[in-house]
Amino acid sequence: MPCCAPLVIRLLRKRRLLVAGVVLLCVLTASAYGAHRALNRTHRTYALYEFAHNPPWFKAALKRVNQSGGTIRLPAGRVPPLNLFDLTPSSPIRLVGRPSTMLSGISVKRSQNIVIRNLRIAPAGSPAIADVGASSDITFRNVRFLGTQEDIGVALQLDPDDRNIAVTHAEFAHCQHGLACILAQGRGLVIDHVRFHDVRDADVIRGAADDVTISDSDLHDALAGTHSDNHNDLIQILGGGPWTIVRSHFGVRSNGAAQVYVDPRSGPAGAVHDVHVESSLFTGSNKDMFFAINVRDPAQSSVPLATGVEFVNNTIASATIAAIVLADEYSKVAPDQRPLIQNNILERQKHPLCRVARMVTNVIGSGATCPGDRRGSPSLDARGRPAAETASLLARGTSDGAPATDLYGRKRGDPPTIGAVELP
C-alpha cells in the first residue's frame, strides 16, 4: 500500500479538498497500488479521500426525507460532492438531476433505499468518485460517469459489505487511471444496458463479488494511455460467483490479458465459481488481443480453479491466437467438471481445448477442432453477424443448456443457431 494511503484528512473545510486531492494523486501514482497483478488490489481498505460537508440546502433536503423517503431534485449546473450516511428510509430516497446537473462525487455509507438518477458525475479539478460502502439497495439509473482524462477520471467503487447495487442505462468514459470504472464487490450487483468507452490505463469492470449480472451492455476501448502501466481488461473476475454475462458486446482492448479474464485470487469473496457467458459478441483487433476469454490457473496453490464455467452461444471474432484459452490444469479435473464450451463461433482457436473442456457443437474458423465441432467460416460482417448463406453451417446447435434469447433479445429456436445471433 502506498505510504500516503492511510492518511486521513481532518483540516479546515476550505483546505480539505485541496489536500485531499494531493493525497489522492499520491495514492493513484504509487506503483504498488497501480500494479494490476497485486493480490490485494481489488480489496480497497481505506477511503480515497473524504468529501466536504454537505451544503446547507442538501442537509435540509435530507432532513425532510430521511425517515419516509422522497425526492430531492438537484440544482442545475455543478453540484459539490454529497454525503449520504446512515439513512434507512421506509421508502426510497431519490436524488434526481436536471439536464445540466454535474455532480462532483458522492459517498453512500451505511444506508439503504437510495436511487440516483438523471445526472452526470464528472470531475471538478479532481477525480469524481462514487463510493458505496456498507449499503444495500442502491441504484444508479441514467447516470453518465464522464471523466475528462485518465488522471482526472471517474469510478464507481463498491465494498465487500455492499448488497444489491444496480447500475442501469448508464455510461462510463475516461475512468480513473489505475482503477476500474466499476470495482465489483459485495453481493448482488446488476449492470444492465451500460456503455463503457474511451478508457485509458484502467479496467472496465474488476472485482471479487457474488451474484453479479452484466447484461445488454457494450464494453470497448480499454487501451493503454499516457502511463501504459495498467493491465487493461474489459472484465477481470478475481473471486466469487455466480458471474452471469449475457447479450453483451466486447470490443477492442490492449495491454492486458483478455476481454474477459478469470484470474482466481484469495479474498473475502472466496473462489471463482459459476461463470456464465452467453449470447455475447467479441470483436475488435489489436496487436496484443491474443485471447478473447482467458481462464487462468490460480497464482496461489491454495486457491482452486474456477468451477462451473460455461461459455454458450457466443460469437468470438476478436482473438489473434485463440478465442478461448483455459488453464492446462483443467486436464486433471473430471471431464464432467471441466468448462463447458457449447454452440460458439470461434474464428481462431490455435490452442486445442479437447483435453481441458467439454466441447459441444462449436464452429471453428481456423485452428484445432474437437470431436463434435464443425469447421468453416461463418462469413461475419463488421458487426459480427453471419452471412445468410452460412445458415446450414450454423444450424442445429445443442438445445440443452442453450440461452433463451440471442444477442438482440430475440427468442432462440429449438434447436438454436450456433453463435450469438439467431438466424431465421
Q: Which residue is listed with cell 494511455?
A: 225
Contacting residues for 334 by C-beta, under 8 A, at least 6 apart: none
- At residue 183 the predicted structure's pLDDT band, cuts being 50, 70 and 90, is very high
The pLDDT confidence band at residue 310, using thresholds 50, 70 and 90, is: very high
**How far is 183 from 130, CA to CA, in rounded Å?**
11
CATH value of 13-394 in 1.10.10, 2.160.20, 1.10.3470, 2.60.98: 2.160.20
Residue, of 51 and 155, whose pLDDT is higher: 155
Task: Quote the pTM value.
Answer: 0.88
Position 92 pLDDT exceeds 50: yes
**Per-residue pLDDT band at 382 (split at 50, 70, 90):** confident
Tens of pLDDT, residues 104-142: 999 999 999 999 999 999 999 999 999 999 999 999 999
The proportion of the chain whose per-residue pLDDT surpasses 70, expressed as a percent, equals 88
What does the pLDDT average to over 177-190? Answer: 97
Is residue 265 pLDDT above 50, yes or no?
A: yes
